[in-house]
Amino acid sequence: MLCKRALSCFLAPLAALSFALLTGCGSGGHAIPVSPVSPAPFSVTAITPPSGTTSVSTNSTIQITFSSAADPATVNTTNIQVTDPNSIAGTVAYTAGANTATLTPSAALAPNTTYSVTVTGVTSSAGAAMAGSFTSKFVTIAAMQYQASLFSSDQSSIVGQVSIDPLGNVTVQLTGATASTTFTVEFCPAYNAGTGSNAPACVNTGSVSTDATGSGSSTTMFPQPGSWAGDFEVYSGSTEYATNLFENTTPATSAQIYMSTFQPENTVNGTGITRWPTQSPLTSGTVTYANGSVAFAVTGASPDTLYQTAESQSVAIDSSGSYLMSAFTTDSSGNGSSTEPMIDGSGIGDLFEFLPAYEGTHSAGFIGGFSVPK
């Protein structure tokens, strides 16, 4: 009896344990639940421009790469935003094969500005949420060094503009141009008419195509480094638009813009267009147009020196189409400025000279232009 009782006492707990393992704990006798498989982690793995980048072009787009395929319904301007700190309007497109989202601002970004990119609420195609929001920052380039309106050949309307950032990126924007057309973009360098030399060849800087409304834009790198001054031309067949500066007398030209940096005459266009053997010192300077007046500002020129500004009618400087404008004397640091109304009835062009008033004893100054780094 003792053996039987001992055996039953030993087997009974084993049977109860087996039953418990098979039926699960608790009075309900439910099966042991199986945990569902969690979706793979989902995150942003790369962004262009990279976080911390400076001198970003104001015409840049923002590209975001995800760790896996995203749910396109969550890739939108609510979940992906660019701020400065105000929200920047734009559109977002998703490329499924590359797992990337591209945000294109509706307008050019402001120069010398810090922008934040925030990504939150985007989920993977499998339903996985981001662990937290993603934030990146970049700083746009200091400022444009050249901007000029593009006029129709009859000078009756503005159809766009050409701008160049400090990196040498040439951006052409057209609005109200001939529709559905691909235009060639050329830059025609200035030259010294007094030397009797032939005009230098124009430089092809790319092309720009318009849509059905006559709008379009393109950005290309100027093909040659160095200092440059001259005119841009955008043409297709007999249709041509050119940078210029006209007297602000009609509503058609009231929106025109012009801004350029000074470049030394003995270095522009590769070989230089120097008229005298030496170059006056000048650290930097700008010429701008607004409200019917042209403003000059120079830094680091000869101190306490009288300077003269002039406006040229064509890409040939020192021609019969050059007009003297304002005169000013620099301070003890070589800095100076002046503002001069546009010459009445003029359609002068977009070339400006800066030269000492006494040309017999001083060398040439600068003309408006832009520079392209190597």
Q: Where in the chain is the domain with CATH 2.60.40.1220?
A: 44-139
pTM reported for the whole predicted model: 0.65
Paired tokens of 354: 């800066």
> Which of 80-94, 192-206, 222-236, 308-322 comes out lowest in average pLDDT?
308-322
Q: How many whole angstroms separate alpha carbon 250 and alpha carbon 156?
A: 9
Q: How many whole angstroms separate alpha carbon 157 and alpha carbon 175?
A: 11
Domain 44-139: give its CATH code.
2.60.40.1220
Q: Name the band, by pLDDT with cuts 50, 70 and 90, for residue 343.
A: low
Give yes or no for residue 185 having a pLDDT over 90: yes
Give yes or no for residue 163 having a pLDDT over 80: yes
Give yes or no for residue 5 having a pLDDT over 60: no
